[in-house]
Amino acid sequence: MEGIGEEVRLIRLRAEGRDFCRGRVSPTPPPGAPRPPLAPMRREVAEAPLRVYGALRGAAVPVLAVVRGSAHGYGAALVAASDLAVAADTARFAVPEMERGIPPLLVLTAFAGRVGEKAAAHLALGRREMDATEALAAGLVGEVVPEAGLEAAAERLTRAALDAPAAATRAVKAYLAATRSVPSGASALAANLIVSVLADR
């Protein structure tokens, strides 16, 4: 996504299977395991996903997430970091990291400026699953459609992006990226805190 060519007009994120994304296989060491050096742990656990979220937000063209099934943890963060997100009415969103003793600070960084603070807190601290209608109200997705109409809605949004003048589209994306930024220092704070917590388990 970094340094894409002028021929690219839209980035679409979608699943091939039943679920959008049920999270990532985390390189987090299990509780009680020997403590790895902090610098590699920070790089593998925190910096990699934060770079993905930053690339989605900073991409020169719009990013469209097409969501069916579960979008948990990393999946919910990918949706939040996208510019456009359409979800099937059967989609479900959750941030289950706390169940494994991992503070979901990376996901919350992706939520910054996109998802309401109370909704983010309920997902992270309340560990509750949110349905598509609630995700729409929280700002996590921009549109909810019946599952049977998800592909048609995705194609409609794709056509809208592709039919608009490229220069105007890139200008809107640049403006959104500049005005909806993650608060200064938030990514570094999230990385430092999560590594600190994991190192002490």
Q: What domains appear along the chain, each with residue ranges and CATH number?
A: 11-199 (3.90.226.10)
| Amino acid, single-letter form, for residue 164 | A
Q: Are strands 70-72 and 11-14 parallel, antiparallel or unpaired?
A: unpaired
Model pLDDT for residues 140-178, shown as the tens digit of each residue: 999 999 999 999 999 999 999 999 999 999 999 999 888
Overall pTM > 0.85: yes
Averaged pLDDT of the chain: 91
How far apart CA 39 and CA 176 sit, in angstroms, is 32
Half-sphere exposure at residue 127, Cβ-oriented, CA atoms within 13 angstroms = 8
Model pLDDT for residues 64-75, shown as the tens digit of each residue: 999 999 999 999
Contact 97, 75 (CB under 8 A): no
How far apart CA 91 and CA 47 sit, in angstroms, is 28
Sign of CA dihedral 11, 55, 61, 109: positive
Block residue for tokens 């790895």: 36
Model pLDDT for residues 50-59, shown as the tens digit of each residue: 999 999 999 9
Region for 200 from its dihedrals, namely left if φ exceeds 0, alpha if ψ lies in -120 to 50, beta otherwise: alpha
